[in-house]
Structure 1
């Protein structure tokens, strides 16, 4: 029972931390407006760059990476069951995408995903970035490239020889990403550097 409660605690912590809307807060601090009111309408670092400049965007990006890194790292060090890390990471991404603190209107989840991979398998982070860049260049549509990439993340980790816990982590996150990016399937982009946080 204690093991289950501890695991659930990590999962709740992951979602709660993921829900912190840094893009909204930082952009409001810089220019006094809600980042979701312009640009892509998403609470992402890319949208923060569009509206508040590079400094604001970089601050948001680092904080969003941390939202994925911290709960995943803590779960990997102190979690008592194998499934706690994959679910903690996935719920951190879900919190970012559908934040309870911001009316469930958040970001896209890739920066948080990156942070979660950096916590347990840095090689997977760089491999995932490479995969997404390749898909975006080929498909030339961010949401569709990421939606397709979501189904390739877990097989990629397996091919790289990652531990099964990492494979399951990317599989769980991929489901969250696929749901989120499916909503932008028909979106038209003005740039190739896209909303992907």
Structure 2
């Protein structure tokens, strides 16, 4: 029988490949023939898709990215539900869930199909959180929407929501493993937004409906 470590590695690899599905690239390529990586911010996420291919395409990308993020930890829970008793230690489950979640988040931003480029991992991270704890996920999404409604800046909403997730995990009394995921994934999402942070500080970050300054000049 395969070892615990072997099964864990296979789950991590499967989660990474789920996260790596290049949704934004494929949808924009199919609709417009453009390479999303060469447009706007270069991100394959829903915000850049909105600027490049419009609202329906952006909504499709967002929903699919959430689903692929959710599929990774759900796969772990599926294994625990249907695998023979004793295949994996019960107390490993939350740790394998965060392992799968982090692998999916990494895969979204460093897709093997796109030469290890991708999006900012916000939607895929939301999907992971929905499986971990829907209340935390929906509360974090509420924070995002509130900031977006006030500022109309997607990146600002994403950054503040990423910070809020750790506090929400503690507030909802979640396991240590889930709190660790919130901290690590939150930091990763913020790091992925470093160019956005620079533009926020410079006052040049575009609001919804606006082009990036570099696009306007080209």
On whether the aligned pair clears a TM of 0.5, the verdict is yes
The one of 75, 83, 87 equivalent to 2:95 is 83
> Structure 1 length as normaliser, TM-score?
0.85
Q: Which has the higher contact order (CA 8 A, sep 6+)?
A: 1
Closer, same or farther in 2 for the Cα pair 1:130/1:104, shift >3 Å? same
Deviation at 1:176, TM superposition (A): 2.0
Aligned alpha-carbon RMSD (Å): 2.4
The 3-state SS of whatever aligns with 1:184 is helix
- The Cα of 1:147 is off from its aligned counterpart by 3.9
Shift of 1:3: 1.1
Please state if 1:190 is matched with 2:210.
no
**Residue 178 of structure 1: aligned partner:** 190
Aligned position for 1:17: 18
* 2:141 counterpart (103, 117, 129): 129
Helix, strand or coil: the match of 1:104? coil
Equivalent pairs counted in the alignment come to 194
Distance in structure 1 (CA, Å) of the matches to 2:177 and 2:169: 10
1-side partners of 2:78 and 2:175: how far apart?
Answer: 15
| TM-fit CA distance, 1:7 | 1.3
1:155 is aligned to 167
Tell me if the contact between 1:14 and 1:71 (Cα under 8 Å) persists in the aligned partners. yes
Mapped to 1, the partners of 2:101 and 2:37 lie a distance apart of 24
Q: Which moved more, 1:183-192 or 1:10-19?
A: 183-192
Give distance in 2, aligned partners of 1:150 and 1:9: 28
Q: Evaluate the alpha carbon distance shift between residue 176 and residue 191 of structure 1 in structure 2; reply closer, same or farther with a 3 A threshold.
A: same
- Matched residue of 2:198: which SS? coil
Taking structure 1 as reference, are residues 167 and 77 closer, same or farther at Cα in structure 2, changes over 3 Å only? Answer: farther
Task: Show structure 1 runs of 5+ residues with no match.
Answer: none
TM-score (norm 2): 0.78
Which structure: larger Rg?
2
Alignment of 1:46-85 (within 5 A): 46-78=47-79, 80=88, 81=92, 82-85=94-97
- C-alpha contact (below 8 Å) 1:15/1:91 kept by paired residues: yes
1:120 equivalenced with 2:132 (yes/no): yes
Structure 2 unaligned segments of length 5 or more: list them: 81-87, 211-218
Counterpart Cα distance in 1 of 2:54 and 2:195? 26
- Assess, with a 3 A threshold, how the Cα gap between structure 1 residues 190 and 175 changes in structure 2: closer, same or farther: closer
The structural deviation recorded for 1:33 is 0.5
User: 1:76, 1:120 within 8 Å by CA — same for their partners in 2?
Assistant: no
